[in-house]
Structures are given as C-alpha cells and as structure tokens.
Chain A
Amino acid sequence: MSIHDFKESNFIPGNGGLDRKVSTRPATSLSCAKRKCFKMLDESPEPGWLSEEVKTGTTIIAIEFDGGVVLGSDSRVSAGETVVNRVMNKLSLLHDKIYCALSGSAADAQTIAEMVNYQLDVHSIEVGEDPQVRSAATLVKNISYKYKEELSAHLIVAGWDKRGGGQVYVTLNGLLSRQPFAVGGSGSSYVYGFVDAEYRKAMSKEDCQQFVVNTLSLAMSRDGSSGGVAYLVTIDKKGAEEKCILGNELPTFYDQ
C-alpha cells in the first residue's frame, strides 16, 4: 500500500459528499455551532453573512385538533454557514386567530406575511367580522403563485375561525391545500417518518402540543439549519397563546 499524500480533507468526517445536512445540537452560541459543524478547512476568507442569502432553513409544523390548531417552529436563521439569528420567531401573526409559519428565504417570507397581514386587516374591516383561515391562506397563495419565479418561501397558514374550526393550509409553490397537519422547511425531511407514524386523528390539544414539540426536537437535532429554541402557538376560539421552549427544556431521545 503506497503512502498517501494526506490532504486535510481526507480526515473530515462526512467528506463523502453525502448531501445531508450535518447534525448539530441546538446552538447556544455562534462559536459553538461553528466548532461542531464539520467544514472544509479551506473556507473562503469572507464570512458567509456578507455574501450568502439569509434563509430560515428551518423546521415548521402545524396540526389541527378539534377546536383549534397548534403551530411550531425552530428559531435558527442562517446565511450560508453562519447563524445570523438564533432566536427568531418564525410564527408570524396574520390576524388575531390566524398565524403563519415562515420557511425558505427570510426576506421573502417576512414580506409575504406583512403583505397578507395588511390585506387581511382591510378584508376583515370590509366584511365586518374576523376573517376565515381559508381567506388568509388564499391571500398567501395568490402572492406565492403570482410571483413564484421570484420568490422562494413556503408559508404554512393555520388558525381558527367560527365556520370551520381549526384549519391548516399548505401554500407551497402556489398551491392551496388543507391538511390535518403539515410540516415544512429543510428539517421536515428528517421527520416525515416520525410524523407519519405518530399522527393519529382526533388528538387532544395537549397531545398535539407534545407531538409538535417532539417533532421539532427531533428535526432540530438532525438538521444543521434548524436549532435554537422552539416556539409554539396554540390557537382556539378564545385566542392565541404563544410559548417559547428553551433548548435545554426540549425532549431528548436515546442518544442525547
């Protein structure tokens, strides 16, 4: 066996080109995340946040129960390999009892949410009552579809209205589809199996909250672009209740 000309890159685990995101624990500091990410040592001298687009590469989830919905998200915003915000709340208010979860390009997603927030306010004044969740989802879908070439954001819209109860709508790429639950963002790939196996019809509100927290925790521990804290919003006919679960309070699984 000949002596190899050892390159640094030979010894970096995961160098086989597997395209999966490298797993990191929820980052509690920027340097911590950098240390734990396996990177090529010949990185470009300019930091990622100067040149890379800011994405909310993320995990978002929404699930309906009888009487409302629960939305959940992580809190990491990345620009290339840098975490530019580790505590962003990706659950954005569209109306009193309608929220949306943001994923994809941070700028695109925030802009869509703000535009729809404004349009919904006007609409609800015009009709004289709280808007339906379907209306909010349709407004998001209209923007996503019309500008689908320019935008790259995916919003999950969920809320409660008196006509339909709790509802979850998916607006990926400009489609509009109502589902009992939805996951999105880069971290969602890792938890498709888990949500398929664990979801049951007619779960209670507490079961749904636990389901959301478990799913977020699993995704955050496998997806390099998801992490930080978990935000939860529970919406029912009484209103919306926001909750933040810190990294060390998240459920842990066998290897943590």
Chain B
Amino acid sequence: MDSQIKGVSTGTTILAVTFNGGVIIGSDSRASIGGYYVSSKTINKLIQVHDRIFCCIAGSLADAQVVTKAAKFQISFHSIQMESPPLVKAAASVLKELCYNNKEELQAGFITAGWDRKKGPQVYTVALGGMLLSQPFTIGGSGSTYIYGYADAKYKPDMSKEECLQFATNALALAMGRDNVSGGVAHLVVITEEGVEHVVIPGDKLPKFHDE
C-alpha cells in the first residue's frame, strides 16, 4: 500500500517495543519514490514531539511532516497549560485527532512511544483512518509485513533493555533484508525515565542471517 503513494513516501519499517522500565522506538532510513528510486538513504523518521515522547512516521512523507509539526506545537502548548510533562496518551490522541479529522486527505500512519510518570513506558498506534490503539509493541510500514511472524514469536513481556535492543535490531534487519523500500541504517531511540538515548546502526553492522 505504501508504495502506491504518490510523491515521496517512506515505504518503511517502523517499530516500537516496551521493555522493563522503558520503550525502544526504531526505524529504517530509506525514503523512496514509487518504489524504484531512493530519494534519501539517511532520512530520520523518529521525530521527538516532547522530552520523553517520540513518534515515527509511515506513509507519505509530506503528510507526516506537516502532521508531526502541528502535533509538536499542540503538545508543547498543552504541556505548558498543564504545567507538567504531557502523557504519552495525550500525544497519541493529538495525532489521532489530526489523522481522523483529515482522513480523506492524509495518507500517513504513526507510532507514538514514550515514557510518562503516570503509566510508565507505552506504545500507541495511530492507523491510517485515525484508529488509536495501545499495545505492548507494534510494527508498521511496508516492511512490517515480513516480520509479523518474527515479532509474534520472539516478543516477551518485561524484557531487559539489552534483550529489547537485540529484538528491535533483529526485527529491523530482517525487514530491511526482505523489503526493497526499507533500508539504509537502523535508527533506534531508547526512552526511559532517566532520559533518551539514540543508537544508530549502520547497514554493515546490522545482524546477518543465514543467507547473507
């Protein structure tokens, strides 16, 4: 579906996984036009919308950039009004409202992940039509089709940070290996109460599997 989007699309693989004490959000870095020209090898699809809340985008890049910009503004305004850091659910809801109210024009889906004081680490999916769903982990983008089986089999609740990093890296590597519109480097962001840590894994350092 992503590869039928006109213009630049992030035919992509994105995921977010909760672990014991935090959440990891990750993506590949390829942007393509029509599935046959890579317009950027190093695009960053992980957008920081607040101190401990990130979202990642799949679908039309233009739509996603506009929506996240609007969401970023609304969330910081909301957090100033409330005089406290926003809840992850609030950030996800803002994205959802934008997607649902403009569902005819927009073609972008989001994964929101972050940490807040009330519920700890959380992951929310906002699908194309504006559905909002909370899940322990989620995968999205065109490359996610290929890793449903892997994610279902390998995910365990309450993993440690290292196990979770390994799970996310493997999942991205497998998807990038099978999906032609996902590739480049793997971007991972680890969000915990203490702070935010970026991990970038270049293509040649990704885990290799049996036929590589």
B129 at interface, CB cutoff 8 A: yes
A14 at interface, CB cutoff 8 A: yes
Q: Establish whether residues A193 and B147, one from each chain, have CB atoms under 8 Å apart when the complex forms.
A: yes
State the CA gap A190–B153 with chains docked (Å).
12
A158 at interface, CB cutoff 8 A: no
Minimum CB–CB distance for B196 against chain A, Å: 27
Q: Which of these binds chain A: B25-33, B63-71, B77-85, B171-179?
A: B171-179
Contact flag A16-B174 (CB < 8 Å), given A1-B101, A191-B149: no
Contact flag A197-B101 (CB < 8 Å), given A18-B128, A189-B145: no
Contact flag A193-B156 (CB < 8 Å), given A18-B127, A200-B210: no
148-207 of chain A: CB within 8 A of chain B: 189-201
User: Contact partner of B209 among A17, A18, A196, CB < 8 A?
Assistant: A196
B109 at interface, CB cutoff 8 A: yes
Contacts of B157 in A (CB 8 A): 254
Minimum CB–CB distance for A188 against chain B, Å: 9
1-60 of chain A: CB within 8 A of chain B: 1, 10, 13-20
State the CA gap A140–B177 with chains docked (Å).
29
B211 at interface, CB cutoff 8 A: yes
State the CA gap A17–B103 with chains docked (Å).
11
Contacts of A13 in B (CB 8 A): 127, 131
A134 at interface, CB cutoff 8 A: no
Q: Which of these binds chain B: A84-92, A94-102, A111-119, A216-224?
A: A216-224
213-254 of chain A: CB within 8 A of chain B: 214-215, 218-219, 221-222, 253-254
Q: Establish whether residues B152 and A196, one from each chain, have CB atoms under 8 Å apart when the complex forms.
A: no
B94 at interface, CB cutoff 8 A: no
Q: Which residue of B is nearest A221, CB measured?
A: B152
Interface size on B, residues (CB 8 A): 31
State the CA gap A193–B174 with chains docked (Å).
5
A255 at interface, CB cutoff 8 A: yes
Q: Establish whether residues B155 and A254, one from each chain, have CB atoms under 8 Å apart when the complex forms.
A: yes
Minimum CB–CB distance for A106 against chain B, Å: 24
B73 at interface, CB cutoff 8 A: no
Q: Which residue of B is nearest A196, CB measured?
A: B209
Contact flag A193-B146 (CB < 8 Å), given A17-B1, A19-B1, A218-B153: yes
B170 at interface, CB cutoff 8 A: yes
Contacts of B101 in A (CB 8 A): 1
Minimum CB–CB distance for A238 against chain B, Å: 28
Q: Establish whether residues A253 and B128, one from each chain, have CB atoms under 8 Å apart when the complex forms.
A: no
Q: Establish whether residues B151 and A193, one from each chain, have CB atoms under 8 Å apart when the complex forms.
A: yes
User: Contact partner of B171 among A189, A193, A221, CB < 8 A?
Assistant: A193
Contacts of A14 in B (CB 8 A): 127, 131
Sampled A-B contacts (27; CB under 8 Å): A1-B101, A16-B131, A17-B1, A19-B1, A189-B145, A190-B145, A190-B146, A191-B149, A192-B147, A193-B148, A193-B174, A193-B175, A194-B147, A194-B149, A194-B150, A196-B174, A196-B177, A196-B178, A197-B174, A197-B209, A199-B209, A201-B210, A218-B153, A222-B148, A222-B149, A253-B152, A254-B152
Query: What are the 8 closest A-B residue pairs judged by CB atoms, nearest first?
Result: A16-B128, A191-B149, A194-B149, A193-B147, A16-B129, A193-B150, A193-B174, A218-B149
Residues on B close to A: CB < 8 A? 1, 101, 103, 109, 127-131, 145-157, 170-171, 174-175, 177-178, 209-211
Starting from the known contacts A215-B149, A218-B152, 13 additional A-B residue pairs (CB-CB under 8 Å) come to: A14-B127, A190-B146, A191-B149, A193-B151, A193-B174, A193-B175, A194-B149, A194-B152, A196-B210, A196-B211, A197-B150, A199-B210, A254-B157
